[in-house]
Chain A
Amino acid sequence: MNANIALFLAQDGIINGAIYALLGVALVLLFAVTRIIFVPQGELVAWGALTMAALETGVVPGTARMLVALGLAAATLQMIREWRTLQASQIIRLLAQDIGMPLALLTAVTILVPLHLGLVANAMLTLALLVPMGPLIYRIAFQPIADASVLVLFIAAIGVHFSLVGLGLLFFGAEGYRPSPFIDANFLFGSMIVKSQSVFVLGVTAVVMVGLFIFFEQTMPGKALRATAVNRLGARLVGISVRKTGQITFALAAAIGAVSGILIGPLTTIYYDTGFLIGLKGFVAAIVAGLTSYPLTVLAAILVGLLESYSAFFASAFKEVIVFSLIIPVLLVRSFAGGRDEEEE
């Protein structure tokens, strides 16, 4: 290996690491506020990329129809669960929000797609389609068991992952796609060829991070989320709706997932089930950081990216083994340092 290859691998690792960092931050956020270890975050990433690819080729993306299906499911379930207490106005709002809005989006996408509006518009559409999915998934799967133990929520998350991968196959098919990059140019930095897309990925990641920082520090919903993360009962007592914070968190996570998908699409071919492995690497980062610290998560994510890209070079067959085995010693240290945490049911 010469210096050039080393630098190239480093570039590759940092870019992937940046995307894992986005994922990791979303996972930490979800865990802090809702205590859910949200394994399916990766699916949102894959769907983001696949939606971009579909929009680019001028096809109505599967996510548009999936959103309608999820909305229907959420509205139906909520009406079944709460039919005693629901008032007419609430039902109308439910119908408008869960069924009307997805249908409107589907119509809009169907009209807009043949016009080939360009990358930026496609990215906006992708966000519009994916962000509502977060709260819908939360309402369908997690809201009724929001108070269960971390372990129960985790098993539920695995169930959701199973379903979402299946849905991904149903709505996107088994074919892989690779949307074109936003900026398709390379430039020389010293002796190293740098892809402009790489710089773009790093820039967007930084912008998202800064945005999150401002959201948490400066806005009321952001502060409410932080309060819930620190103390759920306390937050409830001062009038913060745990339901609402859960939904907002999932919307945020879906947005971050969609952005990650938009960024990662041009770097690698994405299949309906690619998300899981990508998501798990975000996980490795989040767990290395103890599912608590955002800056540590970012650092760990870049480490994971580097580890992956170098092990892909040295022992490509075992790269997944190496990355995922990293988690075991880290968990051990965490578990012993963290002392006994009681899992009472």
Chain B
Amino acid sequence: MRKKSEMIMRGQFAMRWLSLAALAAFPLVPGVPDFWLTLAGYIGLSSLVAIGLVLLTGVGGMTSFGQAAFVGFGAYTSAVLTQTFGISPWATLPFALVASALFGLLIGLVTVKLSGHYLALCTIAWGISFFYLFGNVEWFGRYDGISGLVPFTIGSFALIDARASFYLIWLAVLIAVVLSQNMLDSRMGRAIRALRGGGVAAESFGVDTARVKLIVFMYAALLAGLSGWLYAHVQRAVSPSPFGLGAGIEYLLMAVLGGSGHVIGGVVGAAIVTILKDQLQDLLPRLFGASGNFENIVFGILMVGMLQIAREGLWPLLRRPFPQPPNKVIVSDALPLDCQPALPRGTPLLDFDNVRKQFSGLVAVNDVSFGVKAGEIVGLIGPNGAGKSTLFNLLTGILPLTSGAIVYCGDRIDGLATRAIVARRIARTFQHVRLVPHLTVLENVALGAHLRGRAGAVSAMLRLDRTEEARLLAEAARQIHRVGLVQEMHKPAGALALGQQRLAEIARALCLDPLLLLLDEPAAGLRFAEKKQLADFLSRLRQAGISILLVEHDMDFVMNLADHLVVLDFGTKIAEGAPVEIAANPIVQEAYLGSVV
């Protein structure tokens, strides 16, 4: 087993260096036409933008048709600075990056909170607006743009030749690929991946989704700005049209075509679109006997066809014949994460005090009061629509209370944001499992430990986070072990049976080192033996001092497990007490079975 993964790793290592060497040698091969090198340069420039889009759209789920505008910010900044003030193009790099990042920040602040297609529409709006803006600013030379820009120079050698700029561009692409892959393979990367599907799960483990979105957005803008800076001095001219909406759509096509979930997919997509565009621009006008941008017909068909046939893009198909990347290495002797002490058994932990939730006319939770003590399992039961899940959502800050109070460890926590509540070590699972399906169980579970790490985007990109990352992964592995999913650790979460997915959610919750564990129907979808195992496991957690608030429909399961039961019906608490008392309670029987008479 170990040998095999080592071999795969060595193979991958060799592949990586071989492809790098091939890339480096490409311009030196005698007889390679200059034009190919120019094309390769364009591919590199587009790759930078497409890589940003992979992170933004493919991984983070935010679709942008307006990336070309950020290329424009980088390009125009450098163009104006070199042209007007005579600064060397090397010195304008920080300015170009800051300008694009700043615009990214500004536009991001306004737009990333938009959801789904609204964000995509908004990117179209700004894509068009900036095109007209670029074309109407006197400084930017209006629609004519600015030409005759200075090239990059090293000493007295100007990088005018395509052969010379090739290395500069691809060095930038290489750096972008490495930084992006590092970022995705980290605490921040998990947070970005968890943004898809609404980000509710991410928020429930303390991820500040708005901030993470903004970071990805700015990162994508930075890469686009970098591409623009290079473009300005390789092309030595800027004008509005390469930064318009059409270009923005082309960049998105690259990401969709190449495989929007993979960094290399961006490069593959950029290569395909750039080469295809070049060939089609030659071929189609001759075929149709007229001149014009007919390649768009093919591009549009490709885009729709890709969505119809292979939504994951080409890169996953291209790399299928090669060995899959080895499983993540768990450093078993990594320093364990710090744990907080458990509370003494029996201390009051959580109190619902006349909690009420009204959705306009409907009272979903009607002045409910009860408490949970440390080291206790409380079962919350009631027929469908009794308000159990609503109560969970009130407790975790997903919904605001209409009136009443929730007191936890002596502090009122109602009115706090979800993240602030999670930070008090309240972890949850979801009634409808919320795992990221294509991520491994390990990575999904590690998201639970988000608040126990600190590393941000920059330290992830520079790999300064490895010690902490090893500790987080070791903790995740430990919890996976605890729930008995070791065999499944490296499988994609979506490939697990529903019962196993529920266990994975519990493992993720345990990664938070919780004082209070909220379980929403953990036994649903489990077989009899599995239910018994789960019950044993939960009572072991109770022994370890974790309190559990449990919503469950399986009466046997709850009755045997819980110390205390609370029964809700139509939002109102109708009974509360030890399981035996509840089972004998006529009001409860009526609520469940209807009137016996």
**Chain B neighbourhood of A335, CB < 8 A:** 113-115, 118
**Known contacts A151-B63, A336-B113, A344-B197; is-contact A331 B118 (Cβ 8 Å):** yes
Shortest distance between the CB of A165 and any CB in chain B (Å):
6
Does B49 sit within 8 A of A, measured CB to CB? no
Does B577 sit within 8 A of A, measured CB to CB? no
Tell me the complex Cα distance, A344–B200, Å. Answer: 11
Does A235 sit within 8 A of B, measured CB to CB? no
Does B125 sit within 8 A of A, measured CB to CB? yes
Q: Which of A144, A152, A159 has the most CB of B within 10 A?
A: A159
What is the chain A residue whose CB lies nearest that of B127?
A324
The segment from A103-111, A116-124, A169-177 that touches chain B is A169-177
Tell me the complex Cα distance, A251–B178, Å. Answer: 49
A162 is contacted by which of B63, B133, B303 (Cβ under 8 Å)? B303
**Known contacts A155-B307, A328-B122, A343-B61; is-contact A163 B296 (Cβ 8 Å):** yes
Does A340 sit within 8 A of B, measured CB to CB? yes
Tell me the complex Cα distance, A284–B116, Å. Answer: 17
- Is the Cβ of A145 less than 8 Å from the Cβ of B307? yes
A169 is contacted by which of B132, B253, B294 (Cβ under 8 Å)? B294
Tell me the complex Cα distance, A284–B129, Å. Answer: 13
Does A211 sit within 8 A of B, measured CB to CB? no
Chain A 136-166 interface mask (CB, 8 Å, partner B; 1/0):
0000010011001111101110111111111
- Is the Cβ of A37 less than 8 Å from the Cβ of B307? no
What is the chain B residue whose CB lies nearest that of A169?
B292
Tell me the complex Cα distance, A287–B118, Å. Answer: 9
Chain A 325-340 interface mask (CB, 8 Å, partner B; 1/0):
1011001101110101
Shortest distance between the CB of A48 and any CB in chain B (Å):
20
Shortest distance between the CB of A169 and any CB in chain B (Å):
5
- Is the Cβ of A331 less than 8 Å from the Cβ of B296? no
Tell me the complex Cα distance, A75–B300, Å. Answer: 19
Does A341 sit within 8 A of B, measured CB to CB? yes
**Chain B neighbourhood of A159, CB < 8 A:** 253, 299-304, 307
**Chain B neighbourhood of A280, CB < 8 A:** 124, 128
Does A184 sit within 8 A of B, measured CB to CB? no
Does B249 sit within 8 A of A, measured CB to CB? yes
The segment from A212-220, A241-249, A314-322 that touches chain B is A314-322
Chain B 308-320 interface mask (CB, 8 Å, partner A; 1/0):
1001000000000
Does A72 sit within 8 A of B, measured CB to CB? no
**Chain B neighbourhood of A173, CB < 8 A:** 290
Other contacts beyond A166-B294, A318-B133, A345-B196: 17, CB < 8 A: A145-B308, A155-B252, A155-B303, A158-B249, A161-B300, A162-B296, A163-B296, A166-B298, A169-B292, A169-B294, A280-B128, A317-B136, A327-B125, A338-B115, A341-B115, A341-B116, A345-B197
Interface residues of B (CB under 8 A from A): 61, 63, 65, 110-111, 113-118, 120-122, 124-126, 128-129, 132-133, 136, 196-198, 200, 249, 252-253, 256, 288, 290, 292-304, 307-308, 311
